[in-house]
A and B are shown apart, each in its own frame.
Chain A
Amino acid sequence: MDTDLTGALADDVDGAFPDLVRAHARLVWTVLARAGAGGEVEDLAQEVFVRAHRALHGYDADRRRALAVRSWLVTLALNIARNAARSATRRPRTVGLGTVAEPSDPGEAPEAAALRSATRARLATALAALPPAQRAAVVLRHVLGLPYAEAAAALGLPVGTVKAQVSRGVSALRADLGATGEREELG
C-alpha cells in the first residue's frame, strides 16, 4: 500500500515527506493519544515526524525503499511516548485531545448517534485503563486496523504474543463495559 510512498522516499526524501506526513498523521496521533503515556500529543506527534525526517536522511535509498513505513512510525511514536513519560514530571494525560475521525452517518437517528458517541466515550475510558502492553496491542490491531504481522513488527514482539494481548485486552474491555451495564450493546 505504501510502495508509491517508499519509492518516492527512496528517490527524494524531502520531495516525498509531505505526503508521508499527510498519509500517516492520523496514525501517529492516534497511537500517541490512545496508546501513549500522556504528554502533549501535538508536541509528541511533531517530534515523531521530525525524528522520522532526520532518520530518513540518514538511510540509504535501498533502506528507504524497503521501509515498512506504518510499523516504523508506530515504533518511533511508542518510543517517543515512553521517553517523554520517563523524563516528564507526570503531566496529566491528554487522551481526549484531537477529534474523532469517523464521519457521522447522515442517515443515523440523533438518539442512535448520541448512544454511539456515549459508548465510544466509555470505551475510550476503558481502553485507557488497560495495562500498557494490552492497550498498545488493541490500539494497533482494532483502533488502527493494522494486520497482526504489522502490529507485531511495530511492537517488536512475536505475533502470538500480540494476539494474546489483544485477546486479553478485548476481554477486559468487555468485562469493564459489562460491569457498567453495557454488555448487550457491546455484544
Chain B
Amino acid sequence: MSPVSVLRGLVLEPSPGFVDRTLTAVGLVDDYAVLDGPAGRWHVSWGPRGVSLVVATEDPAEFARVHAGRVGRPLRAAAGLPVALERALRTQRVPKGLRVELSRLSSFEQAVLAKAREIPRGEIRPYAWVAREIGRPAAVRAVGTALGRNPVPVLIPCHRVVRADGRIGEYVFGSAAKRALLQHEGVDTEELARLAATGVRYLGSDTTAVFCLPSCRDARRIGAAHRVAFRDERAARAARYRPCRHCRPVADSAPPRLTG
C-alpha cells in the first residue's frame, strides 16, 4: 500500500442533504402542493421559472420520484397552491402570463407544446394538425410522443389534441381523464366522435362559405339550417368554400389575422 493509494480514500462525502440545502440557498427549489381536480388528485410543483410539473398521483413519494428525474431541484411542501395556479387548473382557463418551465425538453417538444398551448379552450385539433402547424407534417407520431412528455398537463392543454378519426387518443393521465377534461370545458366528445365516424372532417357555413374543423368556435355558431358537412378539403374547395382563419383546417389556410 503506497501513501498515494491510501490518499484516494481521504475523499469526503458531503453531509446528507447538502446538495438540496445548497440549491435551496441559491433559490433553485420548487414548492409543491396537491389539488383535487376534475380528474382526480394531482401533485403540482412550481419554482423559480414557473410551474414545473403536474402529475396525476395520490402518492407524494411517486411525485418526488418523477420530479427528481424530470426537474432535478429539491422539493418543499407548500401550504397550498398559488390562487391563480389553482384557478387555472380547476377552470382549465390558463392566463397567457402563467409561466411554465419547459427548458429540459428538446426544441421539437417545445414547439409541439407551444402549439398545443394555442388551442382554445373547448376546441380540439388532430395530431396531424399540430405536426403541420409546426412545419413537420410527417412527424405525426413524434407529436404524440412529445405531447406525452408534457410536464404540465392542463396548463399546456395537450388533452385538446385528439385523433383525426374521432377517437380520443392517448393521454398522460389516461384516456378517461382526457375525456373528463374535454367535457369539463364543454367539448361534446360524443357528437364529434359521431361526426368523425360518419366521415365528416369539416363543417361549413353556407352564409359565409367558410369551412372549419368541427370543434372550432366558428363552426359551433353555424345554425343547423346553414351547416354544410364536408368529407375532405377537395369537396369543400369544389363548393367554393375557403378555410377558416381561426382553426386553419388545411395546409394552405390563410394565416391568422394579426388584428381584429
Contact = CB atoms under 8 A, between A and B. Distances in A.
Interface stretch (B23-31, B109-117, B202-210): B23-31
Given A21-B19, A22-B19, A119-B1, A34 B26 contact: no
Interface in B84-125: 103-104
Contacts of B11: 26, 30, 100-102, 143-144
Contact of B28 (A17, A42, A101, A116): A17
Interface stretch (A59-67, A151-159, A170-178): A170-178
Nearest to A22: B19
Which of A15, A26, A138 has the largest number of chain B CB atoms within 10 A?
Answer: A15
A186 interface: yes
Interface of B: 1-4, 6-15, 18-19, 21-23, 25-26, 28, 48-49, 72-73, 103-104
Interface string A11-46: 010110111011001100110011000000010011
Which of B2, B22, B48, B103 has the largest number of chain A CB atoms within 10 A?
Answer: B22
A147 interface: no
B26 A49 contact: yes
A57 B100 CA distance: 21
Interface in A144-185: 144-145, 170, 173-174, 177, 185
Contacts of A186: 1-3, 6
A173 B4 CA distance: 10
Which of B9, B14, B21, B23 has the largest number of chain A CB atoms within 10 A?
Answer: B14
A42 B10 contact: no
24 contacts: A18-B19, A18-B72, A19-B72, A21-B23, A25-B19, A25-B22, A26-B13, A29-B14, A30-B10, A34-B10, A42-B15, A45-B18, A49-B22, A99-B13, A102-B8, A119-B6, A123-B10, A124-B10, A127-B7, A139-B10, A145-B8, A170-B3, A186-B2, A186-B6
Contacts of A25: 14, 18-19, 22
A14 B12 contact: no
A14 B25 CA distance: 13
Which 10 residue pairs of A and B lie closest in terms of their CB atoms, listed nearest first? A98-B12, A142-B7, A101-B13, A29-B14, A187-B2, A101-B11, A102-B9, A53-B26, A18-B72, A15-B103
B165 to A, nearest CB: 38
A116 B22 contact: no
Size band of the interface chain A makes with B: 35 or more
A185 B3 CA distance: 9
Interface string A88-127: 0000000001111110000000000000100110011001
B51 to A, nearest CB: 15
Contacts of B49: 14
A98 B2 contact: no
A1 interface: no
A45 B19 CA distance: 10
